[in-house]
Chain A
Amino acid sequence: MRVLVTGGSASGKSAYAEQLACSLSPRRVYLATMSPHGAEAQERIRRHRSQRADLGFKTIEKSGSSLAPIGGEDADTRRGVVLLEDLGNLVANTLFDKGDMTDDPTLVAGRLEQEVLDLARSFEHVVVVGNEVGCEGASAFAGTRMWVHALGELSCRLATNFDMVVEVSAGVACVVKGGIA
């Protein structure tokens, strides 16, 4: 089962994604993508860690620009669920940390799509947390516009491939594609 969970900031998408992952398998890997730079990031990471403290996730920090190499996990783990959080950080890591700036959001979205699909193939279940960031006027900053476009396109591509897409607002989950069989 491959699920994309999207929503705005503090919409409750993480908590929903965690609960969903727990319902899918007792073998859980949490793939964290946030760069641990700055006090706000540290605080957010701390809050998310405590939120999932008792849920039995094995956490893998992956704040670099690539998801690989992951998949070196034992066969038992790979029969479980991986929770990837989140696409916004994944795109930002690629664009900004690595300095992989390009004028082509399609190129970035395409490459990250392949990485996420590779990851999805390595596990029985995957839950990906995305971000709704395109519902406001275009940013005055070229880098931000690029990030919004790449993130939007990556979300569309994953949604096409995945079995289920859920949008969370105010903690309420609205299934926009598929459903739990």
Chain B
Amino acid sequence: MILVTGGIASGKRTYVRSLGYAESQMSSHVASEAPVLVGLEELLREGEPTEADLRALMSKDVVVCCEVGQGVVPMEGQERVWRERVGRTCTALAQDATRVVRMVCGIPVVIKEER
């Protein structure tokens, strides 16, 4: 699984397209058959991912998640729980990912590559 992270409008989907995936192969539902899962951060608003969710995510070709933890710690408790959950989930996924890419100004910076 390739994990793609980076800020808002940093070029994450453009990078996924450059890997050969069409928009029609991207879905924001874990249960979908699509090989690419986009918008993981929004899915995590629902609650903690289960073991089954994590397995489903690991079985994707690509998972795209917006990096959300670099700004100011939010005033609202719920937002703090959410960004923490996004960070922890990405950390867990990155551990088993074959490649982790962080987008900077549209440029893929490979921060992990398993050989």
Q: Which residues of A contact B105 (CB under 8 A)?
A: 4, 6, 130, 155-156, 158-159, 165, 167, 176
- Residue pairs across A and B with Cβ atoms less than 8 A apart, 29 shown, are A6-B104, A8-B70, A105-B9, A130-B105, A132-B7, A132-B70, A133-B71, A134-B10, A134-B67, A135-B8, A135-B67, A135-B69, A135-B70, A136-B7, A136-B70, A137-B41, A137-B68, A149-B9, A152-B8, A152-B9, A152-B10, A153-B9, A157-B106, A158-B105, A159-B104, A160-B106, A165-B104, A176-B107, A176-B109
Whether A137 pairs with B7 at a CB distance below 8 angstroms is: no
Within 8 A of A (CB), among B60-114: 66-72, 74, 79, 82-83, 104-107, 109
Whether B69 lies near A176 (C-beta < 8 A) is no
Which residues of B does A touch, CB under 8 Å?
6-11, 14, 41, 66-72, 74, 79, 82-83, 104-107, 109
Contact A155 B74 (CB under 8 A): no
Instruction: For the complex, give the distance between the alpha carbons of A137 and B104 in Å.
Output: 17
Taking a contact as CB atoms under 8 Å apart, the answer to whether A134 and B83 are in contact is no
* Interface of chain B, main secondary structure: loop
Structural contact, B74 and A137, CB atoms closer than 8 A: yes
Interface centre among A133, A151, A155 (most CB of B within 10 A): A155
* Residues 116-134 (chain A) with a chain B CB within 8 angstroms: 130, 132-134
Q: Taking A135-B71, A137-B79 as contacts, is the C-beta distance between A176 and B9 under 8 angstroms? A: no
Contact residues of A with B, CB < 8 Å? 4, 6, 8, 105, 130, 132-138, 148-149, 151-153, 155-160, 165, 167, 176-177
Distance of A132 Cα from B67 Cα, bound (Å)? 12
From the candidates A132, A148, A155, name the one contacting B106 in the complex (CB within 8 A): A155
A159 touches B107 (CB 8 A): yes
